[in-house]
Amino acid sequence: MSDTAATSSPLLTTPLHALHIELGAKMVPFGGYDMPVQYATGILAEHRHTRTSAGLFDVSHMGQVLLKGDAAAAALETLVPVDIVDLGPFKQRYALFTNAQGGILDDLMVTRRADDLFVVVNAACKAQDIAHLQQHIGNRCTVQPLPEQALLALQGPQAVTALARLNPEVQKLVFMTGGHFALDGIDCFVTRSGYTGEDGFEISVPGGQAEQLARALLAQPEVQPIGLGARDTLRLEAGLCLYGHDIDTTTTPVEGALTWAIQKVRRAGGARAGGYPGAEVIDAQLSQGAQGVLRKRVGLISTERMPVREGAQVVNAAGEAIGRVTSGSLGPSLNQPVALAYLATAHTAIGTEVFAVVRDKRVAMSVTALPFVPNGYFRG
């Protein structure tokens, strides 16, 4: 889950903006906000620190929304191909808003709490997502945006060590669960989740107290501030999609290799099959297996040194165009170029040799399993 680039509108700021400036961040426009892309140590050092210790990310530009009412879960299922009704208390699930063609309007995270559903959407999509919710299910449940809340992500194998000093109870959480916790005396809602492939937490905190919490976390010896540059390389190594790049309104969950997010109960023949936009398209693609789509998202890796960037054409040995790269970088943990790409289905088998075209030069790559780097999620 993530955000597309900013438009030309005046940039918004998060409650941590002054702290980013104090810490020497290089600021860039992102998702309509002025955001830190890196700090003094640079993207590579920040990436490696998160992989080995703990990094603090400001993700307050994301949208936070509560859905309230007895019908909220059933109502949300009319917009996503995901099982929300059976989601257990304080369990979290990845979901997708779809359109009538089966394309993806946005990806989001949903957590069932005691009296509501807590939803996090991407920054660049949040206005349209909130309007989408209000238009289509606002008559069945209360749609309550939370613009006053900030969102911090603490990620890395030492994240739990650092956060447990503020409240040892957070150690009881496992991947994709959440709960209410006091952190440095501040009431927060915490989920054990994130966007780096590592163990970690996302913390919803009142905006007025976000800087206090951020400083308390940065005071821990394991924790350093991390910018959006490393967030992008970390999520790429984890094989995670960036909305507006790897998935968008023209890609279906099947093309995007996200069928794991569609539970059996919501598929054709399931107890609550269909009933969401594009269900017929998506069910037809699911029923046809590997041949249900003309293209599919895959991971690519190279032994060469030249990084392959978004937009690069992918060709076969005969030079015929077979796809396009949607995200690409040198993977800092691997020291090899890695990429996500959409390829014609016939070329998506693991081990298939292909070539990315970079400045008229062919870079040999092979289709590989995702993630590129094994994840470190804590499942108990």
Q: What pLDDT was estimated at residue 246?
A: 98
CA-CA distance, 23 to 316, in Å (whole number)?
Answer: 47
Q: What pLDDT was estimated at residue 8?
A: 60
Q: What pLDDT was estimated at residue 6?
A: 42
Burial letters 124-159, b for 16+ CB under 10 A, else e: bbbeebbebbeebbeebbebebbeebbbbbbbbbbb
Closest to 174 (Cα-Cα) out of 155, 158, 157, 191? 191
Say which DSSP state 195 is in.
S
- Residue for token digits 């299910």? 137
Could you tell me which residues come within 8 angstroms of residue 223 by beta carbon, excluding any fewer than 6 positions away? 53, 54, 55, 56, 154, 162, 217
CA-CA distance, 156 to 161, in Å (whole number)?
Answer: 10
Residue-wise pLDDT tens digits, 32-70:
999 999 999 999 999 999 999 999 999 999 999 999 999
Question: Is residue 5 over pLDDT 60?
Answer: no
CA-CA distance, 262 to 158, in Å (whole number)?
Answer: 32
Residue-wise pLDDT tens digits, 222-256:
999 999 999 999 999 999 999 999 999 999 999 99
What's the mean per-residue pLDDT of the chain? 97
The answer to whether the CB of 66 falls within 8 A of the CB of 112 is: no
Residue-wise pLDDT tens digits, 259-293:
999 999 999 999 999 999 999 999 999 999 878 89
Question: Is residue 2 over pLDDT 80?
Answer: no
Per-residue pLDDT, averaged over 169-198, amounts to 98
Per-residue pLDDT, averaged over 320-327, amounts to 98
Per-residue pLDDT, averaged over 174-184, amounts to 98
Question: Is residue 185 over pLDDT 60?
Answer: yes
Residue-wise pLDDT tens digits, 109-152:
999 999 999 999 999 999 999 999 999 999 999 999 999 999 99
Between 181 and 290, whose confidence is greater?
Answer: 181
Say which DSSP state 374 is in.
-
Question: Is residue 4 over pLDDT 80?
Answer: no
Q: What pLDDT was estimated at residue 174?
A: 98
Tokens standing for 154? 């603490």
> pLDDT > 90: what percent of the chain?
96
What strands, in cross-sheet order, belong to the sheet with 104-112? 92-98, 104-112, 116-121, 63-68, 142-145
Could you tell me which residues come within 8 angstroms of residue 214 by beta carbon, excluding any fewer than 6 positions away? 16, 19, 56, 58, 152
Closest to 261 (Cα-Cα) out of 102, 76, 95, 62? 95
CA-CA distance, 170 to 174, in Å (whole number)?
Answer: 9
